[in-house]
Structure 1
Amino acid sequence: MKIVSVCAIPVDLPLPHPMEWATGRMTSQAHVLVRVMTDEGVEGIAEAIPRENIYGETQVGMVHVINDLLAPLVAGLDPFDVEKVHEAMAFIKGNLAAKGGIDVALWDIMGKACGLPCHKLLGGYRDSIEPSRILWLTSDEVMVDQARELNAKGYRAFKVKGGLDPDADIRRVHALRRAVTSDTRLYIDGNQSYTYFGAKKVHDALRGELDYFEEPIAATNEKDRVRLAHAIDIPIAGDESNFTLHDIAHQIDIDALSIMMIKIPRSGFTYGRKIAALCEAYHRPMMIGSQSESSLGMATLVHIGCALKTISYPCEFMDFDDPAAPSLVNERIRMENGRVYPPEGPGLGVTLNEDAVERYTVRG
């Protein structure tokens, strides 16, 4: 089996509600659909996600990189030879999310060719995962109402976006803790926006209410990151400091983080597994982070979350159960009794809705 074509298609999916955090705001998912075709007619698909303010990759740039730079490098290679594919793509520096999209599409091909779902190919450790939902920056009242509604649907973990105002974050988490069930986990994502003293203040004020932190302090401020990790009694999870295998090795070396987060849009499945092996060797638990995926990308998250033994924290999801959320695929993610299950079928287990692809494709 050989790769005969790689095609990147820019899409723009309007969000039912805006998403706002300390360093940005989104009203639509300006993402890239990746389609990889083989000479045997097996096609792999993936959702590649550019974030210019995080990875430096734009939608226009990603389409160019995939179609004009990476596609010629991987043409003619066997999709099962993922290490060879990554070696070929390494000629183009950076562009983690573009390469991650191609990688996931290759695993989709492998699953379809073998008649197995990706989570079985990748490790097959569990059949479902516990989900977490993101509470975006908004008024306290709206955030509390959202948490109550999601709690009633079975969610028992919430990421609370914060980082701009420690006092407001303290007030917000107090309100949320009173509103949700006692078995619900709450954690704040500072998006690197706290000072050391701001993060310490939030921790001390929320002692017993906050279960863990995510990236409270800038990745470049290593001295204060390590200082905070040793000054508080809850784990700190990484994200913006966890881009590559080498980044994670460094964070382990300086002892700045207790929980390692992977985001499949920037690692793909192949490097996601390597990161998991590193974390297992150093006894670091992991979680799967969301990059604001649509249903196609969320299917990817479920598969890797079910596959890896090291995943021991709830995995982040978007509102896949919102019928107003646009989707590029025909299938919806299934949640039962507080657990999320991977789509059935080989590969990613989802099929493209070609009408939706046509509708949301960015032209010109």
Structure 2
Amino acid sequence: MKITEVEAIPFAIPYAKPLKFASGEVATAEHVLIRVRTEDGVVGVAEAPPRPFTYGETQAGIVAVVESLFAPQITGLRLTEREVARARLDRTVGNPTAKAAIDMAMWDAFGKTVGLGVTDLLGGYTDRLRVSHMLGFDEPAAMVAEAERMMATHGIRTFKVKVGRRPVDLDVAVVRALREAFGDAVELYVDGNRGWTPAESARAMRQLADLDLLFAEELCPADDVLGRRWLVGQLDVPFIADESAVTPADITREVLGGSATAISIKTARTGFTGSQRAHHLAEGLGLEVVMGNQIDGQLGTACTIAFGAAHQRTAHRAAELSNFLDMTDDLLTEPLQIRDGELRVRPGAGIGVEIDPDKLAHYRTS
């Protein structure tokens, strides 16, 4: 089970519709495929989606750090030496999605080696997750139409609405239009991607108070310490810390400081090993957990399903799993299919997916 090679392969797949939100816009999935190969010929795979406007990583940066630093540090380790791998990778600051993808590829290779699915290895709570769909910036009528299409085509009934524009009335109108269109047939929550000030956030949430929202997420920056604490203290819905609470230390700081009451776990930035740490801390603190989305492709989405389905707390709420629908293509031999608003854990060992070599050859950029 020793690792003999780690590959970082950049690829680019356009989106049919760019996703727009307060901290940026994504028009092309410029991601990196990570492959971990063992002496037994087993290959584990995972996807690293760089988000420079959130974590500072770029596609070229991920390839460079994997090839020059991370691959030499973990080559020769056994797949079971995940804590050793983690300690070595953590000598380098930052680079969360590069580290996470290596961790998940190791888990995938380990599952394939022992003939078990990653979900079973992690906990095996269920075999499916309900799906939440993210609605990016647009006019109210267009966002309602997209939600209608997701309901009719895929059975999705939970929607995360991107907010954070100015004036706040733009986004208040969108959320209100969604509730008026669908009534209590859908679940709604909002994500500001740090786009508003605390005062703007408070104003918007007062205007949305009668719409029965599930959550509010990252409405204002976490480094506005007093302002965010003031905001969270007056809300009557859980406030999700996302990019402000990646590590267990981040989570502890935000929650004990009164700046968050729930968290988003994204396997794309914490892998399976780090995500378990976050999950167990959330369990101990009694926090709500949502499985988030890093605008992943289908491989990254399969990883989110594998982890979220493994634990009761992460399977309780709908998970953000549908953004791959906006991509014009993908790399998997068997595409993911959302049915009745759910995605199931892929059968088979590891994560349960295979990469189509022809598609990889077509979309790779190196």
With the shorter chain as reference, the TM-score category is over 0.9
Of 314, 320, 324 in structure 1, the residue corresponding to residue 318 of structure 2 is 314
Task: Report what 1:175 is aligned to.
Answer: 177
- Which segments of 5 or more consecutive residues in structure 2 lack a partner in the other structure? none
Q: Distance in 1 between matches of 2:67 and 2:59?
A: 12
Query: Counterpart of 1:353?
Result: 356
Alpha-carbon contact 1:148-1:179 (below 8 Å) kept: no
Q: Is the 8 A contact 2:134 2:323 kept in 1?
A: no
Q: Which residue is equivalent to 2:158? A: 157
Give 1:321 deviation, angstroms.
5.1
1:262 maps to 265
Question: Is residue 2:245 matched to residue 1:247?
Answer: no
Q: Distance in 2 between matches of 1:338 and 1:19?
A: 21
Task: Tell which has more relative contact order, 1 or 2 (C-alpha 8 A, sep 6+).
Answer: 2
Matched, 1:51 2:51: yes
Alpha-carbon shift at residue 180 of structure 1 (Å): 2.0
Equivalent residue, structure 1, for 2:290: 287
Q: Percent identity?
A: 35
1:222 CA displacement: 1.5
Shift of 1:139: 1.8
2:190/2:217 contact within 8 Å kept: yes
Residue pair 1:330, 1:353 contacting (<8 A) in 2 also: yes
**Shift of the alpha carbon at 1:181?**
4.7
Paired AA for residue 113 in structure 1? T
* Residue 339 (structure 1) shift: 2.0
Aligned-residue offset at 1:162: 1.0
Given that residues 294 and 318 in structure 1 are in contact (C-alpha distance below 8 angstroms), is that contact kept between their aligned partners in structure 2?
Answer: no
Distance (whole Å) between structure 2 residues aligned to residue 101 and residue 214 of structure 1: 25
- Cα offset, 1:313, TM superposition: 2.2
Conserved 8 A contact 2:195-2:219: yes
- Check conservation: 2:73, 2:88, Cα contact below 8 A: yes
1:339 aligns with 2:351: no
Between the aligned partners of 1:187 and 1:279, the Cα distance in structure 2 is 20
Deviation at 1:308, TM superposition (A): 1.9
Question: Are the counterparts in 1 of residues 296 and 324 from structure 2 also a CA contact under 8 Å?
Answer: no
Aligned residue for 2:221?
A: 218
Q: Once the two structures are superposed, what CA deviation does each residue of 1:114-159 show, in whole Å capped at 9, x if it has no partner?
A: 1111111111111211110000111221111001111223111111
Partners in 2 of 1:46 and 1:105 — Cα distance? 5
Q: What secondary structure sits across from 2:111 in the alignment?
A: helix
CA distance in 2: counterparts of 1:123 and 1:334, whole angstroms: 23
Q: Secondary structure at the match of 2:209?
A: coil
Match of 2:333 among 330, 334, 352: 330
Shift of 1:267: 0.2
Residues 308-357 of structure 1: CA distance to partner in whole angstroms, max 9, x if unpaired? Answer: 222132110234456x6311111222333322211111111000001111
Corresponding letter in the other structure for 2:318: P
CA drift at 1:56: 1.0
Contact 2:15 2:28 in 1 (8 A): yes
**RMSD of aligned alpha carbons:** 1.3
Please list, as runs of the form range in 1=range in 2, the aligned pairs for 1:1-364 lying within 5 A after superposition. Answer: 1-152=1-152, 153-165=154-166, 166-209=168-211, 210-311=213-314, 312-320=316-324, 325-363=328-366
Structure 1 stretches lacking a partner, 5+ long = none
- Give 1:304 shift: 0.8
Change (3 A) 1:181 1:80: farther
| TM-score normalised over the length of structure 1 | 0.96
Aligned length: 362
Would the aligned equivalents of 1:151 and 1:181 in 2 still touch at CA under 8 Å? Answer: no
AA partner of residue 202 (structure 2): K
